[in-house]
Amino acid sequence: MAKKFLGGVLTGTALTVASLAGAAFTFKKKVVEPEEQEVARIEENRRRAIRKSLSAHRRAK
């Protein structure tokens, strides 16, 4: 009986750890990465706007 109990505890622990890892991976893919991509897109647009502004205000020689 102790073997079955120990096996059940180990199986339950392994499945819980696997579930938590899956949840963390899913959270990263669904929440963190899109947010990082949005920040990168905004930063790129800011750089483009600065270049465009500087280009528009340069004096022609």
State if pTM tops 0.85: no
The pLDDT profile of the chain, 61 residues, written as one tens digit per residue, is 888 999 999 999 999 999 999 999 999 999 999 999 999 999 999 999 999 998 888 865 5
CA distance 32 to 38: 10
CA distance 10 to 29: 29
Query: What b-and-e string marks burial along 5-39, b requiring 16 or more CB atoms within 10 Å of the CB?
Result: eeeeeeeeeeeeeeeeeeeeeeeeeeeeeeeeeee
